[in-house]
Structure 1
Amino acid sequence: MELKFSITLLLAFGSGTFAMRCPSPDWYYRKTTDKCYFIQGNEGASGGDSTTGALTSFTLLWDQAVEECRIRGGKIATFSDAEELEWVKTKLVDIDYWTGLTYQNYRWQWYDGETFTEYVTIPMV
């Protein structure tokens, strides 16, 4: 039986010295966007202080991933440009993931309502 894993990827926004305020060491801080990123399934992989160091993998539907992000105080990932997406991809531990890109009313848009305008080729992970 093959298991299919999904990641909840979420962002928390802030400004200033946000790295000092990321919720835990299991979050990644990116100075150029001034955001903290959490990748469900990467706990312990970021060098954080996860108690077991084991990867937590479970499958979520997209709506469940959105809700999990909200519960954790963030929102599902949206990307302002291809560089931000590429940076996040370097943090992934070879598992599938959800983003906040949706297709509604015959157009692509980010979960936060921004129109998706930059089409990039994204190789399958």
Structure 2
Amino acid sequence: MGQGEEEAFPCTSRNMEEPLGPQDEEASSHTEVPGYPDKRTHRRVLGKRCGPYLAYILVVVVVLALAAALPVQSAGRHEGCPTLVLACPDDWVGYRKVCYYLSNEEGSWEWSQEWCSSHGASLAVLQREWEMEFLLRLKGNTDVWLGLQRQGERLEWVDGSSFNQRIPVQGQEPCLFLKDHDLWSSSCSKQRPYVCSKASVLMGTT
């Protein structure tokens, strides 16, 4: 065997039997396969391709979370806050934005008007047809004072407006009350129940 052959044989044997060192393993693990990128290159490619989509998905999730939270926060801000509505005081009856009070006690016409005035109202003034119809239901069979007086030859409501309804008026006394479906007059000192009226006001409710 020649010298060149003896030198070649040990080299081939040593390459086959010696274990791979750390550098050799690292080099081997990153050996590139033709036509297939290594792992680091693959991750970079995925990041470039998927990055915009992930950002878009994240923005959508944040927007949906904020949209779901806004109604809850809004409800929390308004919880316990009063709501303003047209209403009437206790013991008063509301109808078409007007509050009415039907008394249980009796009094003269002047005393009744003073009591109504002390509660921000007046003896009931009837200017529209529906007001008469409502009062007839409210009073039932009770005869009640109204805010109507005789001033000389004409009738005048307590708010200064003239009586212009086609309702029969019985008698010539100075103060008028509602009896059945007609208006009757009598002495102002006569004791009888009364009806007050005033506009409904804004009140807070929770």
Q: TM-score range by the shorter chain?
A: 0.5 to 0.7
After TM superposition, the score normalised by the length of structure 2 is 0.40
Report what 1:40 is aligned to: 103
Query: Is the contact made by 1:78 and 1:110 (CA closer than 8 Å) also made in structure 2?
Result: yes
Counterpart residue number, 1:29: 94
Q: 1:116 aligns with which of 150, 158, 163?
A: 163
Aligned 8 A contact 2:125 2:158 in 1: yes
- SS of the equivalent of 1:95 reads coil
Residues 93, 118 of structure 1: CA spacing in aligned structure 2 closer, same or farther, 3 A cutoff?
Answer: closer
Q: Structure 1, residues 32-77: CA drift from partner, whole Å, max 9, x if none?
A: xx11111112xxxxxxxxxxxxxxxx32110000001011221111
How many residue pairs get matched?
89
Larger helix fraction of residues: 2
Q: Which runs of 5+ in 1 are unaligned?
A: 1-15, 42-57
User: If the length of structure 1 is used for normalisation, what is the TM-score?
Assistant: 0.63
When Rg is computed on C-alpha atoms for both structures, the one with the higher figure is 2
Q: Following the alignment from structure 1 to structure 2, what is the Cα–Cα distance between the partners of residues 40 and 81?
A: 22
Determine the structure 2 residue equivalent to 1:5.
none
- Using a 3 Å threshold, how does the CA distance of structure 1 residues 88 and 113 change in structure 2: closer, same or farther? same
TM superposition shift of 1:93:
4.0
Cα distance between partner residues in 2 of 1:107 and 1:93: 28
* Aligned Cα root-mean-square deviation (Å): 2.0
- Unpaired stretches in structure 2, ≥5 consecutive residues: 1-83, 170-177, 181-206
Match of 1:67 in 2: 114
